[in-house]
Structure 1
Amino acid sequence: MVLAAIGHMTFQREEFQAQVPDWVPLSKDFVVIASGIAELLLGGAMVFYYKKKVYVGIALAIFYVLIFPGNIAQYVNHTDAFGLDTDKARLIRLFFQPVLILWALWSTGALKILTQKKPNQ
């Protein structure tokens, strides 16, 4: 997350701008910087806010859900970025977003808590 945040604000800024859907009513650069800050905070929280890692995992999963429209936009608009220069490559990438969501939940223990059956009341 921290490396991705650095990429958002420096060497991959244009690549990330290519993923911001045209329907977002904000400057693409602003969206990329804001999401980079969010990634920096989430990455830092994964390291330093360990006692509340379940909440961090849920927040990270929500973040991955919120940025998914950018991945869809890249596919639908046939936008080359991050070496994804074919529709097939862009389509395959879409299937990895749910994996990231599950990984964020699993690696923080949030998935176990979210899937626990609650005792009958």
Structure 2
Amino acid sequence: MTPPQPAEAAAHSGRSLPRLLGQLALGAFLLLAGISHLTFNREAFQAQVPAWVPLNTDLVVMLSGIAEITLGIALLALHRWRVQIGWLVAAFFVAIFPGNISQFATATDSFGLNSDLSRGIRLAFQPLLVLWALWATGAWRTWRKSRHRE
């Protein structure tokens, strides 16, 4: 028996193919970002940890990398719990937002973001990541439907 193709899997789950592909793309993005936290971009991520965080910057980078890897794998593999995972991913993006704000406020260069404009554009994309997680996993739609039932 061959595994279902993405279109078949989406149809079987009652989800649209764009949402399924969005979920898989976000999972791959998080998995790669997490791996980069632990390997080749470790120093760049350390530069983004705000000075007010009372933990060792390398520890913060390692823990956030492990979280990203875990969330990425969950998005790629645990479709049954996609709604709950969507909320966790959205919460993770909200939790790391202060680091992006700090990078902007302190004018810290990292990842080629070496101007206020480039750092500001990155800030604008963080809420889009939250929306992507909620849309692709159906978390927002599920929440809206539950509100209408009450």
Instruction: Give the TM-score of the pair, scaled to structure 1.
Output: 0.96
Residue 9 of structure 1, CA deviation: 0.3
- Give unpaired runs (5+ residues) of structure 2: 1-29
Partner of 1:119: 149
**Greater share of residues in helix:** 2
Q: Which is greater in Rg?
A: 2
Partner of 1:43: 72
Residue 114 of structure 1, CA deviation: 1.9
Match 2:116 to one of 87, 91, 95:
87
Determine the C-alpha separation between the residues in 1 that align with 2:142 and 2:68: 23
Determine the C-alpha separation between the residues in 2 that align with 1:92 and 1:2: 23
Partner of 1:106: 135
Q: Identity rate of aligned residues, in percent?
A: 52
Match 1:58 to one of 87, 93, 110:
87
- Give unpaired runs (5+ residues) of structure 1: none
Determine the C-alpha separation between the residues in 2 that align with 1:119 and 1:17: 45
Kindly report structure 1 stretches of 4+ aligned residues shifted beyond 4 Å.
none
